[in-house]
A and B are shown apart, each in its own frame.
Chain A
């Protein structure tokens, strides 16, 4: 079964508007971590934000925030005030204790294109 599901098709976002990227996950672990990475066309994977399963508050990092709904097993990324440089692929990933050795399971990604 897929551990991380990202099903949105490619998205076009107007500059300065907010965009929400969906991510649902599947785990039976009590302890796990959720990550979002950005991959621009250059290929590098840029760490954006992290949410631990025991964190009571939603994680925020600058313009990035994570809408963590544990009961629904979702960890959506919200990018506020989109910029042209936000155009990229965005990957949601999960680390489970049972998966071992800090390995990450990645979703298939969301393509975002910010238009002026």
Chain B
């Protein structure tokens, strides 16, 4: 399967700071990347869809000014959690679509964010 990396794997930050998470497709070009959030023992919640070269499409209830998404190239999308607060602590996971593989979403390993 296709390989997607995510960095950092875990981050601890102080309340009020911003945190940037990178998602890279390593061996394919991803025209579309997705950002999810997952709370413990729950399913994945789609936050936004990121298309290369255009603005991200956010799901209902997700603040676009709080969760800034940039998809500047076919292999990189970034999620910036701005002015993070303890309630933003969660597991953030990205996925990318490899169109050659029939549009299966391949996931990164995730980022655990803890805001103190």
Chain A interfacial positions (CB closer than 8 Å to B): 33, 35, 37, 42-47, 50, 91, 95, 101-104, 106-109
A37 touches B107 (CB 8 A): yes
B15-23, B60-68, B95-103 - interface stretch: B95-103
B45-104 contacts to A (CB < 8 Å): 46, 49, 51, 57, 91, 93, 95, 97, 102-104
A45 touches B43 (CB 8 A): no
Q: How many pairs, one residue from A and one from B, have CB atoms within 8 Å of each other in the complex?
A: 51
- Name the interface size band of chain B: 20 to 34
Closest 8 CB pairs of A and B: A45-B107, A43-B110, A44-B109, A106-B43, A108-B43, A106-B44, A101-B49, A102-B103
Q: Which residues on the A side are within 8 Å of B29 (C-beta)?
A: none
Task: Give the CA-CA distance A109 to B107 in the complex, in Å.
Answer: 16
Task: Give the CA-CA distance A65 to B109 in the complex, in Å.
Answer: 24
